[in-house]
Chain A
Amino acid sequence: MPKILEVKNLRITFPVNGGRFAPAVDGINFHLNQGKVLGIVGESGCGKTVTALSLLRLIEEPGRIEEGQALYYGTVEGVSPPPRRPGPQRPEPPEGYEGPEATPVDHLMIEDLRREPTAEINSEKAPDGGIDLFKLSDEQMRHVRGNNIAMIFQEPMTSLNPVFTIGDQISEAVRLHQKVGKKEAEEISIEMLRKVRIPDPQKRIHDYPHQLSGGMRQRVMIAMALSCKPDILIADEPTTALDVTIQAQILELIQELIDDMHMSVILITHDLGVVAQVCDDVLVMYSGMIVERAPAKRIFSKPKHPYTIGLLDSIPPLFQDAGELLHTIKGTVPDLSRLPAGCRFAARCPRMVDACKARVPPYKYVGEGQEVRCLNY
């Protein structure tokens, strides 16, 4: 499975009172496979959005990307990628060999087995040749934005400029990166609106954002983001502000467009239902760190980290007696400027041991592409 994006040791800090720096994102590693959907889950303030914005280098002052790499395995206009280091040669398979023998398990299992174990990603064996987004010039970065990596946002109500028609706005996005005329850009806009299933696109392009409902606006945002056919789509809580039926429609739309346009997606959410519906892999973030990563199915079937388990338990059951309290994770998120030395979840963890307070637990590979940062395993 080729990678399209790989983030190595990303660390983002914000200054806090007294000249100290709070690490909003503290040394995270992950990668995004081509054509897959990577979910990033976590509560507010855990660093999900900051991570996403950093990939486009849109962290606002005084926030800073302290260290790390974001390697993009694609072509950026005006950037020649560093040469690939020749990796270790794989021995040629013998004549007549037709791959490993298929085991008679259902295809879903095979999917899981074929997934490369994530532990390998952290090793230094990852292929060279990616373009480090953090090292590009501002001008080069402008080409990346929208063209290679596009983003959609949480609030469709305010993400469109109220003074221009949606047709103008999509055409503008098209013309920023493609050398096309006004007329052609408008045709592309209509085509994109049709793709996101807005009825009557020829008429709708003359509408102003206030004439559209929230769901329609999110469709317009998606159309705009996809108008330049980016490799990667970052969706920052794309359904949070929408009501449930529209949520489902938007998720289906995203899913379909991914399959259609061979895009890779980073989906940021705090809604585990969304993860279950569209994600292939999941990162669970807590207080600026990744505490667990796994294929989406494993997160639901075999959650390991106490935080993940707590999150899953907090989903209100469909049938619950009135008066019965909802499950919560006790305690609060640690203050980013006063982080504990050990596991950041320790203070709230029901399974804490003394060693948890001493140091941040390392990643532990627990099989089937699942890794967890917890001393209990």
Chain B
Amino acid sequence: MSNLNINAIRADFPILHQQVNGHPLVYLDNAASSQKPRQVIDAISHYYLHDNANIHRGVHQLSQRATDLYDAARSKVRQFLNARSDKEIIFTRGATEAINLVAQSFVRPMLQAGDEILISHLEHHANIVPWQILCEQTGAKLKVIPMTDSGELELTNFDAMLTERTKILAIGHVSNALGTINPVKSMAAKAHAKNIPVLIDGAQAVPHMQVDVQDLDADFYVFSGHKMFAPTGIGALYGRESLLNAMPPYQGGGDMILSVSFDKTLYNELPYKFEAGTPHIAGVIGLGAAIDYMWQIGIDNIAAQEHHLLEIATRKIEALPGVKIVGTAAEKAAVLSFMIDGVHPHDVGTVFDQQGVAIRTGHHCAQPVMEFYDIPATARASFAFYNSEEEVDALISAIQKTQELFA
């Protein structure tokens, strides 16, 4: 049990208090996108109502205020990930853009035909496709760490997969389709022992657990704001300063330069070198407010509440005949993928929606995981700390009603 007052927390999320198809909304699609607390919405609205201007440009008061808010949010992200310096935090549109940035600006320049990029079978498409594009561009090869029936990484041959030709290990911290928490710290240590840099996709980790990039010894760590109570369209890349410094810019434009002439352009210093054009200022401020909110709740409290919900939901689903949980790793975050015998997940999603229960059905942008289990899709319930035990009961009842309908 956690120490949180769920009712008080739920009062911070106005969207949760509505009826869907005549039932109270039960929002269990947090792994796709989380809801936003009033504190985040207010911060964005306050910015547009009082402080809106472009950053790093004007000498006027509003521009200064916008710049201060923007820079302050970067410091919060730095602290949130325990990075060493604000220079190591680059704002991006999300985890996807951050991975593309690393692929193109860090890995591509050092890649030769025949070199290897190592990912895993559990990855989200965002941590597969940018590397495939890179392989097409360079003739490099994509290698894939296999998975087990329980949805864990099969690491027996991991050492042998780290070769002289491996130019990066890119690995998800938490699987979005199954919830598996991967042993990224020990994997990074093994990669580093062979001088292989490591990117960790933290999109599904940061909403749920304390992340410390120094402890993980990550070279790059990426995440999206919208899965951690911030707006869509904003995320961040953490990169080790020495690596970022050596990398060429990803995009060219305003704000990423020191001086421009037709003969020569000097690039700006970190982190601005990687932030071409006017950024999503309101999104960055919203992200900062989301971090403040998570600190106020307490990240350990968040993790405890979600673990509690996952445990009781797992226990109750396991007790139901005709329902199978997909992904039974020992270490899991708040994701429950399941199949109901004889009912296609897409039908499950529709029946749930009629009862006000919002879940994700489909391949979860992880088609290789679906192929591994030889299933087209799963139904996936994913929890946030604002979910209650009553909502777990609503999930169970929705499963039972689906079984009745399809009996």
Are A and B associated in one complex? no
Interface residues of B (CB under 8 A from A): none
